[in-house]
Amino acid sequence: MKRPDETQPGDHPKDLLFHYLEGELDPGESANVKRHLDACSECLKEFRMLDETVSMLRVNREAFCPEAWEVYEFVKTGSDPEGSLTRHVSGCPTCSQEAEAYRTSVHSSALPEAIKEKVEKRFSKNVTDFRPPEPRLTSSGWFSSSIKRRIVVCGALAASIALVVLMYPRGAVGPRIGLSPTIWEQTEHYLTPKAGPLGPPKTNLAVLFVFREFPGPVPQADIDSLYQAVKPGPELSERFQFIQPVQVRDALGGARLGSDNREALYKVLRDKVYLQRLLLLTVSPKGTAFRIEGELIDLTSGQILKSQSGQVAGKSQLMSTIGEWLSLME
Amino acid sequence: MTISNFYDRSAWHIMGSHRENPDALLVEECLSGSQHAWSEFYHRFLPLVRSTVRRQKGLNSSDIDDLTQNIFLHLVDGLNDYDTRYSLPRFVCRVAERTCIDEYRGLKAAKRHAPTDPIDHHDGGEEGSLTIQALGESQEDELSRAQIAAVLRKALKSLGSRCRDLLSMRYYEELPYRRISEVFHATDNTLTVQVRRCIEELRAVWDELMRTGVGR
């Protein structure tokens, strides 16, 4: 190999120091450099700097790994601007393990108590959640479990809708999809598909609220309370695998639904959460009352399997209308 | 009945999710005190925070759990510092790293001032803090090494992409110069000279980071 400089007596072989460090010199050249280093403190200092830096790289190989958040974003978005992440993650056991953890992570419902308390304490003055009291579930199922539960749920719905109308009294705009980070708590035991020879896998189903002709955005707390109110009970969960509202939100959150038809919406839900059935609940103001439409839609064919609608003037009518929505799935 | 154009001539308006930046909306909801939003935040970033903590080598699983929880407690206080123009995962990672460094410094300081005779604490230790007795010399070395690696990563990122690729192939993938020269279509000698320049550049950045205190 031709060298940048050949070592001459009295010269500082600076250009050969790194070749020497990397073992790229032949034995004769190597011996010359070594002799020079034994006698020259200036070159020895430079050689030590190079040696230390290379050693630091060799010892701390994880420094070549992308940051944890870069691996996270790579997994979640496929973002790899320089093309180096794909190569690195595929070849690095640590990073590929992290990537797998990000891919397989699933939402759970429980927030650790210490964090929950801290959130309550930190934000006690500006909490905006508007939620009905946690309903008590029994084996008799959703909405048939007790009158008390019906009153609580319907009261929450009525209050939410009334609040929406009071806050936005004039002017109408197009339909709005209401998404929510709600996770139905205490439902994993029956939302999780049962293992074992229990027949074919359950059809999955998601609930989606749409607000038509409301004059402005519906407050997030009201949307959350509506999703909380339609939390599925054990009997329905025996028949359907429910997709959590937060998963629907993740699927639709970044979606471009600029077109004016439902097909785009269905496609996103099919592609992103492999949704088979959608329960679409449409709420619209009607004077001082509200119109509620419920449709059970087969997303594979785009067909409405069942539909019901009703006008709600008060609590009792609201309750009966909700009962009709639920009967769609019976 | 087949549906098409159900909502004619009106686009979907999506509420509850920020069309351009869903993370910004999540942060907004968290800062409004929504337990739902915090639950989503926690479960979304739990794997990322745990990965960040695991990168601090030498921690046992109990330490990892404690530190993970401490990081989320810090995030409850610090989320209002998030600038929505930037990546939320990056922000979470930064808070996690900072918390790890603070814990590490706290442990070192506590160890320096600890009495020579061992004390047997039967109270299970203070909740939310790491157990100093669990940190042996090798663990401390590992934690220190993780901090060095973090600074070195920062220095590497400041180099140009060619330098990063060259150094990565040579010192991470440990390829011989002959193999690297095939990738870069250059002679062995040219590459060796280039790698040396990259090493010198890296060293200069490293020294600057250490001088300005970024690495400490």
Residue B4: the pLDDT is 31
Residues of A in contact with B99 (CB under 8 A): none
pLDDT tens, position by position, B148-192: 888 899 999 999 889 999 999 999 999 999 999 998 898 988 999
pLDDT tens, position by position, B27-61: 888 888 888 889 889 999 999 999 999 887 677 88
The four Cα atoms B98, B102, B107, B113 give a dihedral, to 10 degrees, of 160
- List all residues 6 or more positions away from B212 whose beta carbon is below 8 Å from its beta carbon: none
Model confidence at B11, in pLDDT bands (50, 70, 90)? very low
pLDDT tens, position by position, B115-161: 544 444 344 444 333 333 344 556 566 667 777 888 899 999 999 88
Q: If you search the block for the tokens 């180096």, which residue do you land on?
A: A84
Residues of B in contact with A71 (CB under 8 A): 51
- List all residues 6 or more positions away from A307 whose beta carbon is below 8 Å from its beta carbon: A293, A294, A295, A296, A328
Is some CB atom of chain A closer than 8 A to the CB atom of B43?
yes
DSSP for residue A61: G
Tell me whether residues A249 and B17 touch, CB distance under 8 A: yes
Q: If you search the block for the tokens 């060259």, which residue do you land on?
A: B166
Residue range A128-138: mean pLDDT, rounded: 36
Is-contact A273 A298, C-beta < 8 A?
A: no
Alpha carbon B116 to its chain centroid, in Å, reads 34
Residue B23: the pLDDT is 84
- List all residues 6 or more positions away from B164 whose beta carbon is below 8 Å from its beta carbon: A84, B156, B157
ipTM over 0.90: no
DSSP A193-248: PPPSSSSSPPEEEEEEEEE-S-SSPPPHHHHHHHHHHT---HHHHHHEEEPPHHHH
Token output for B83 = 């600038």
Query: Of A265, A244, A273, which Cα lies nearest the Cα of A175?
Result: A265
Is-contact B27 B85, C-beta < 8 A?
A: no
Q: How far apart are CA B54 and CA B48, in angstroms?
A: 10
Is some CB atom of chain B closer than 8 A to the CB atom of A217?
yes
Which residue type is seen at A238? E
CB atoms < 10 A from the CB of A53, how many? 23
Residue A108: closest C-alpha in chain B: B43
Tell me whether residues B29 and A73 touch, CB distance under 8 A: no
- List all residues 6 or more positions away from A229 whose beta carbon is below 8 Å from its beta carbon: A132, A153, A156, A157
Task: Give burial (CB, 10 Å; 0-12/13-18/19+) of A9.
Answer: exposed
Query: Of A226, A249, A254, which Cα lies nearest the Cα of A159?
Result: A226
Residue B148: the pLDDT is 84
- Across chain A, mean pLDDT equals 73
CB atoms < 10 A from the CB of A305, how many? 13
Residue A4: the pLDDT is 47
Is some CB atom of chain B closer than 8 A to the CB atom of A147?
no
Residue B202: closest C-alpha in chain A: A53
Residue range A135-164: mean pLDDT, rounded: 45
Tell me whether residues A102 and B32 touch, CB distance under 8 A: no
Residue B46: the pLDDT is 93
**Could you report how far apart the first and last alpha carbons of chain A are, in Å?**
82
Phi, psi of A281 (to 5 degrees): -110, 110
Residue A2: the pLDDT is 45
Bridge partners for A211 per DSSP: A176, A283
Mutation site for A-interface testing, chosen from B1, B5, B17 by largest number of A Cβ within 10 Å: B17
Query: Of B151, B146, B160, B138, which Cα lies nearest the Cα of B103?
Result: B146
* Residues 23-42 (A) with a CB less than 8 A from some CB of B: 24
Residue B180: the pLDDT is 92
Model confidence at B112, in pLDDT bands (50, 70, 90)? low
Q: How far apart are CA B151 and CA A289, in angstroms?
A: 63
pLDDT tens, position by position, A10-21: 578 888 999 999
Q: How far apart are CA A91 and CA A75, in angstroms?
A: 15
Is some CB atom of chain A closer than 8 A to the CB atom of B120?
no
Is-contact A275 A256, C-beta < 8 A?
A: no
